[in-house]
Amino acid sequence: MLISEAFAQTAGASASPLGNLTSFLPLVLMFVVLYFIMIRPQMKRQKETRNMLAALAKGDEVVTSGGLAGRISKVGETFVTVEIADNVEINVQKGAITTLLPKGTIKAL
């Protein structure tokens, strides 16, 4: 015949029991680096934002996600009333507040 028979070779014995572990080591290392570079800082930022939103009080000066700066005049469960000018108040969701400014930053109100 023109085609010769092919014989499967048996796999050689592993040199050490750590042979399989060292093949997965780069993958495990990538996940560890990913956790410390991306996931952990994001979780920390979310925790800080959650604590900032929970601590909002009347008189705090804030910036909304739309870029409006104002002073909080009323705090509700999910909404906050922000005074952006004299006698001009808007209701925004607590989640729309991005930054808590230091006291005295807004002087025009």
Give residue 2's pLDDT: 67
Give residue 13's pLDDT: 55
Q: Which residues contact 19 (CB under 8 A, 6 or more apart)?
A: none
Give residue 20's pLDDT: 77
Q: What is the mean pLDDT of each run of 10 residues along the chain (109 residues)?
A: 67 62 87 94 95 94 95 95 95 95 83
Give the residue among 54, 67, 76, 75 at the shortest CA–CA distance from 99.
Answer: 67
Structural contact between residues 58 and 72, judged by C-beta atoms closer than 8 angstroms:
yes
Q: Spell out the domain ranges in the chain.
A: 17-55, 57-101
CATH class for the region spanning 57-101: mainly beta
Three-state SS at 86: coil
